[in-house]
Chains A and B, each alone.
Chain A
Amino acid sequence: DAGVTQSPTHLIKTRGQQVTLRCSPKSGHDTVSWYQQALGQGPQFIFQYYEEEERQRGNFPDRFSGHQFPNYSSELNVNALLLGDSALYLCASSLGGVSGQPQHFGDGTRLSIL
């Protein structure tokens, strides 16, 4: 039973560039959430996708956008990268129609901005 997989594991970009991160949810899950975890901090909610729609969004600028595909996989896009975007980006999947379910996390993509 494959868990949540994220790619790439590491990425180095420069300011102003754009990046796309990818996530495949755990088998059977239909909901994907994205989080940003800066060094020494807890994960910060970016947004959640369910049925290919953004269902809820955290306090992140429009430079952060996403997409969910019919097979439930998801992408996180970040435009006009800033130094402060350097972080571990975590994807988490769950069953969207069932309240109170825990999330299953991937190991993340570590993004470094130079």
Chain B
Amino acid sequence: AQSVAQPEDQVNVAEGNPLTVKCTYSVSGNPYLFWYVQYPNRGLQFLLKYITGDNLVKGSYGFEAEFNKSQTSFHLKKPSALVSDSALYFCAVRASNTGGFKTIFGAGTRLFVKA
């Protein structure tokens, strides 16, 4: 069965400092991995994805994520946080070997960037 774990309910970081939001996953076969961001009273916005290839993927707004197959992790990173990055972040996984229909989301991590 597919699952996603985001071990931190909240991450606090000062503006200008690097940030990391952690994600580990479990899936049969090769995973498709995604990060989404949600602002208050809005739907989810796509940030980046890993399908295959280079383990370091770059996405929107300066975010990047590193795929680590041995640790089954896909942590979200940004070199320098902005106050406007404060939001709810979701990691998601989809199994590629079942046609990729069902996407499983983590419980979310709230990022708070302090000025």
Task: Write the residues of chain A forming the contact surface with B, with a CB cutoff of 8 angstroms.
Answer: 4, 33, 35, 40-45, 48, 55-56, 58, 90, 92, 99-100, 102-108
Contacts and interface: CB of A to CB of B under 8 A. Distances in A.
Interface of B: 4, 32, 34, 36, 41-46, 49, 51, 90, 94, 96, 99-108
A108 B42 CA distance: 7
A45 B104 contact: yes
Contact of B43 (A41, A45, A106): A106
Given A41-B107, A42-B107, A102 B102 contact: no
Chain A interface helix/strand/loop/mixed: loop
Contacts of A108: 42-43
Contact of B51 (A4, A40, A100): A100
B101 A102 contact: no
Contacts of B102: 45, 48, 56, 58
A73 B12 CA distance: 40
Nearest to B49: A102
B91 to A, nearest CB: 9
Nearest to A55: B101
B101 A56 contact: yes
B105 A43 contact: yes
A42 B89 CA distance: 9
